[in-house]
Amino acid sequence: MRIKEIRSEPIEDILETVLNGYQLRVEIVSETIYCGSWYDDERQTQRGQFHLIGAGECEVTGPMLSHPHLLRGGDLAIFPHGTRHRLAAAPGNANKADSYTSMLCGELEFINGSRNPVLNALPECLIVNAHDGGESFRKLSEVLGQFARDPRLGQRIVMNKLADSLFTLAVCEYAHGASDPRGIFAALADRHLARALDAIHRRPGESWTLDGLAQLAGMSRSAFAQHFTEVMQMPPIAYLTAWRVTQAKQLLRERRLSVAAIAERMGYKSEAAFRKLFKRIEGVGPGKIRSEARSGESSEHPPVER
């Protein structure tokens, strides 16, 4: 029997590497039921917020929305930047004593920092309606709701993983259907920039130059540099450097390789040069990241040379 290989498009590969590289963490924090006339003001937070409507209806408003949005069962409202907003009883239901709305509320953040190109390219509010999200989105929402109603061992862990997958689906849906994409989503829709981004993410340790990336993009050096900077809000080599540092932070936390080995893997011939660059960008040296990982979690891996 022949096993069919699942092939992904470059845009999906890049999104996968970015989401994995910046280490997305999604957590369900509450299951809430509102009855009758109600409203709930959500304050500005450092972490992103999301609300998955289980049953009933509610209205969401906020300074980032041009008009109130009605949410129904299966709809997901995401506030990637933690922007303040209000949830309230849907018009017409506020005075009905038997009306209720249930929802799962959660938080999301990228552990590896706020310079995440996906996070920076997302709008203040992202709403995915159940009927627009596709069959996979609807089924995943239903399963998440079922787990919320079925207390069992490992319930919270499974719910968080399902919520992680639901957020990823929402991001992919936005990436493919945004009418006015910006940042990395606009770059991925541009075949020239997508080639360069694909190369950077696949092989960050390669000795990339502006000329080499421009050649991959099929553009002149000056045109590529200008276009990339306009879309991504940073020059190509600066983006490459930021991605290398992000990958290095992940490797430092895993504690399997020495700093020298990580520097070499990320394309730096000198460990000293890598340490200097890392501290300039992160504000702390590689040893600090490693020591925080060591104190923050127990590891079965033997210590490595710092």
Domain match, 94 and 151 both: yes
Q: Model confidence at 9, in pLDDT bands (50, 70, 90)?
A: low
Q: Model confidence at 7, in pLDDT bands (50, 70, 90)?
A: very low
Lowest mean pLDDT among 54-68, 148-162, 233-247: 148-162
In this prediction the pTM is 0.84
For tokens 């590289």, what's the residue? Answer: 21
Q: What are phi and psi of 192, to 5 degrees?
A: -70, -50
For the stretch 112-117, contacts whose Cβ atoms lie closer than 8 Å and that sit 24 or more positions apart, written own/partner, are 112/21, 112/22, 112/23, 112/246, 112/249, 112/250, 113/22, 113/246, 113/249, 115/242, 115/246, 116/18, 116/22, 117/18, 117/183, 117/184, 117/232, 117/239
Residue % of the chain over a pLDDT of 70: 91
Q: What is the pLDDT of residues 263-286, one digit of tens each?
A: 999 999 899 999 999 999 999 999
Domain match, 163 and 199 both: no
* CATH code (residue 224): 1.10.10.60
d(CA 285, CA 211): 30
Where is the domain boundary, 179, 209, 239? 179
Domain match, 64 and 201 both: no
β 126-128/76-79 pair status: antiparallel
Domain match, 174 and 263 both: no
- The pLDDT score that the predictor gives to residue 306 is 39
Q: What average pLDDT does this structure show over 134-155?
A: 88
Domain match, 210 and 255 both: yes
Q: What average pLDDT does this structure show over 155-181?
A: 89
Domain match, 148 and 228 both: no
What does the buried/exposed string (b/e) look like for 146-155 if buried means 16 or more CB atoms within 10 Å of the residue's CB? ebbeeeeeee
Contacts of 96 (CB under 8 A, 6+ apart): 36
- The pLDDT score that the predictor gives to residue 292 is 82
d(CA 205, CA 249): 14
Where is the domain boundary, 179, 211, 229? 179
* CATH code (residue 169): 2.60.120.10
pLDDT greater than 80 at residue 112 = no
The CA-based angle 237-185-265, given to 5 degrees, is 35
- The pLDDT score that the predictor gives to residue 57 is 92
* Domain span including residue 35: 10-179
Amino acid identity of residue 177, one-letter, is G
